[in-house]
Amino acid sequence: MVAKVILFGEHAVVYGYRAISMAINLNTSVKVEKADKFIIYSENLNKTLVSDNLECNDRDFSYIINTLKIFFNNFNIEPEYLKLSIYSEIPVSCGLGSSASVIIETLKSLSNFYNIELDKNDIFKLAYEVERITQGKASITDTATITYGGVLEIKDNKFRKLNDLNDFIKECDFLIAYVEKRNKKTADLVKEVSNLDYKDEIFKEIDKIAKEAIKVNDKKEFGELLLKNHELLKKLNISTNKIDKVIDIAKKYSYGAKITGAGGGGCVIILLNDNWKELIKRIKNHVISLYPCKVIL
Ligand code: PMV
């Protein structure tokens, strides 16, 4: 299963303005097998949980535990011991939707294991329920984007596929630069932004950019919109010096770039041009890791 990035509109989307998100080709897989305890293994976290029941409070695995509970409950299956092994290319807690990806892949693997047919709408509904229960509050951005793929507009917690933009985007090569660990959680950043008395002015500008981006058919123009959106996010104080350094380099050696997700560190999304080798040479010492990616339709 894939990952997601927000191309435009993070934070503004919390207030009903539009955001544009995209499914990208960073994968997660979950293997399900019979076991004599509940065993959850994550290669990424280098961690294994072994438990007699699903009432264990393990923060790292709370999404998986809740996925199991909701799956068993929804399909009236008597819980039985299983081993779930999770392999993911998606770095955790940096705005790429690693939790939603793991939830969705777990649901798919469980449905295969139990021979239950799930369509995309079933998966979306169940995955959103798991996110909501685990986080207390969740937007549909991650679960919708990762379930349905392509490029989506999210507005008022509803989504629609942007099929025209899909045609343009599939010709684009992106690079995700994981610059630094986030210093705050999404909820804390959303709260801080909510305290800014000028936020609505900024959100209106961001919404205009997202609206323009839907109609764009030119990489240079699209890159400029990414940079404009980043400037506005800076005014919301969610960028960092390290992120801005990477964006400054990307300004010279790509079509454009912006921070993606809640901010406070994390990732930058860059639209590549022919200077990508030079770009990589110049940013590689300023990042934790780099992920070349394309949209997954
Ligand atoms: O970094 P993430 O994936 O948690 O993105 C959060 C995006 C926000 O707009 C800041 C919050 C939201 O729920 O949409």
What mean pLDDT is predicted for residues 206-216? 97
Q: Which atom of ligand 1 is nearest to the CA of 261?
A: 1
Q: Convert the pLDDT of each residue in 56-111 to its tens digit.
A: 889 899 999 999 999 999 999 999 999 999 999 999 889 999 999 999 999 999 99
Q: Which atom of ligand 1 is nearest to the CA of 9?
A: 9
pLDDT at position 1: 62
Instruction: Tell me which of 52, 60, 142, 173 is the catalytic residue.
Output: 142
Yes or no: say if 130 and 63 are a contact pair by the CB < 8 Å rule: yes
Residues 288 and 169 placed together within one structural domain of the fold: yes
7, 10, 140, 182: residue to mutate for ligand 1 pocket, most atoms within 8 A of CB = 10
Is 142 assigned a catalytic role?
Answer: yes
Residues 227 and 265 placed together within one structural domain of the fold: yes
Q: Sign of the CA dihedral 10, 13, 19, 23?
A: positive
Annotated binding site: 91-101
> Is 1 inside a domain boundary?
no
What mean pLDDT is predicted for residues 27-32? 96
Q: Convert the pLDDT of each residue in 221-271 to its tens digit.
A: 999 999 999 999 999 999 999 999 999 999 999 999 999 999 999 999 999
Which structural domain, as residue segments, surrounds residue 177?
A: 163-293
Nearest 5°: CA angle at 22, between 29 and 173?
95
Residues 135 and 193 placed together within one structural domain of the fold: no
What mean pLDDT is predicted for residues 288-295? 96
Å from CA of 236 to ligand 1 middle: 14
Q: Which atom of ligand 1 is nearest to the CA of 141?
A: 14
Residues 36 and 141 placed together within one structural domain of the fold: yes
Q: Which residues form the pocket of ligand 1, taking CB atoms under 6 Å from any ligand atom? A: 10-11, 13-14, 95, 139, 141, 186, 190, 261-262
Number of structural domains found in the chain = 2
Å from CA of 232 to ligand 1 middle: 16
CATH code of residue 213: 3.30.70.890
Residues 135 and 170 placed together within one structural domain of the fold: no
- What residue's CA is closest to ligand 1, atom 11? 11
175: left (phi over 0), alpha (psi -120 to 50) or beta: beta
> Considering 145, 175, 199, which residue would you say is the last residue of a domain?
145
**pTM of the prediction?**
0.93
Q: Convert the pLDDT of each residue in 133-175 to its tens digit.
A: 998 777 899 999 999 999 999 999 899 999 888 889 999 999 9
Å from CA of 295 to ligand 1 middle: 19
Residues 108 and 207 placed together within one structural domain of the fold: no
**Tokens 């955001």 belong to residue:** 19
From the CA atom positions of the chain, what is the Rg in Å? 19
Q: Sign of the CA dihedral 93, 97, 98, 102?
A: positive
Å from CA of 257 to ligand 1 middle: 18
Q: Which atom of ligand 1 is nearest to the CA of 190?
A: 10
